[in-house]
Amino acid sequence: MEPLVTLHVHDGVATLRIDRPPLNALNEQLLDRLRALAAEVDRRADVGAVVLTGGPKVFAAGADIKEIAARSYAEMADAVQHLQDGFSSIARIRVPVVAAIAGYALGGGCELALCADHRVAASNAQLGLPEILLGVIPGGGGTQRLARLIGPARAKQLIFSGRMLDAAEALELDLVDEVVAPERLEAHAHAWADRLARGPRHALRAAKEAIDRGLDTDLETGLAIERARFATLFATEDRTIGMESFAEHGLGKARFVGG
């Protein structure tokens, strides 16, 4: 039986790898596996950051069209909820998530990458939301997450046209954060995740929650969320370590323990 998605944890970094060759098409079984592993990662005390990847050749080429083409309206109404829940399980992981994107990240693959906190693309990456060319729209969160990331005007241009972007244009539009050579992709993404995993985990979780929840509300409510998360960090061991290290050695020298 295909593993579909694998999980490997080493030195505080969890690697979630989509493994459904040849194109990592996203079917229901894969989404179930992704959601289960995301929940496991979120529970584990030994995970401080996550790398999400499809491997060196393709991130994910989108939904399994053969699986969904014959579905009725009623069937698809349930299936699209399942799709969104699978992707949102990645977005809801409390520690930082770094996406390592090689080759195609189209449709659902692009939507999945949008759920990460930091996106590193190989120079051979191709990203896009081509659903309009099939007579539908993105259904895995693309209309919402893309607009929040790059702004509504640019999101509409990409979604209305359905065109693909190479890595350089994706970087220019802020769809990805970095572009590296294909042979450096996973090492670079893991270096990013390793730095984050060694940071103050409670503070990183608080920062992610404050930003993500604040984007979905008004400024005053967002500030209230920030105040609450800020205050709770004064009950953590890492806050004490960080401030004592600053007083003794200056900024950036603290060795956090995750407590």
Q: What is the CATH number of the domain that holds 141?
A: 3.90.226.10
**In angstroms, rounded to a whole number, what is the distance separating the alpha carbons of residues 31 and 18?**
10
CA–CA dist 237, 121 (Å, integer): 35
Across the strands, what pairs with 164? Answer: 128
- Per-residue pLDDT, 1: 62
- Shared domain check, 178 and 239: no
Q: Give the SS3 label for residue 113.
A: helix
Residue (of 135, 26, 5, 140) closest to 81 by Cα position: 140
Q: Say yes or no to pLDDT of 2 above 80.
A: no
Percent of the chain topping pLDDT 90: 89
Alpha helical stretches, state H, 48-94: 65-68, 73-91
Average pLDDT over the chain reads 95
User: What is the tens place of the pLDDT at every residue in 10-59?
Assistant: 999 999 999 999 999 999 999 999 999 999 999 999 999 999 999 899 99
Strands 4-10 and 13-19: antiparallel
Active-site pick, 131, 183, 220, 237: 131
The residue type at 223: L
Residues spanned by the domain of 209:
201-249
Q: Do 167 and 219 fall within a single domain?
A: no
Nearest to 228 by CA among 197, 201, 207: 207
Distance CA 6, CA 17 (A): 5
CB atoms within 10 A of CB 118: 18
Omega before 22 cis (within 30°)? yes
The CATH number that applies at residue 225 is 1.10.12.10
Task: Say if 122 falls within a structural domain.
Answer: yes
| Residue 111 annotated as catalytic | yes
> What span, in angstroms and rounded, lies between the C-alpha atoms of 120 and 97?
11
Mean pLDDT to the nearest integer, 155-178: 98
> Is residue 259 a part of any domain in this protein?
no
Q: Which residues contact 211 (CB under 8 A, 6 or more apart)?
A: none
Alpha carbon 39 to its chain centroid, in Å, reads 14
Please tell me the pTM assigned to this model: 0.94
Does 159 share its domain with 186? Answer: yes
Q: Tell me which of 2, 40, 75, 111 is the catalytic residue.
A: 111
Q: Is the pLDDT of residue 65 over 90?
A: no
Task: Answer yes or no: do 217 and 187 share one domain.
Answer: no
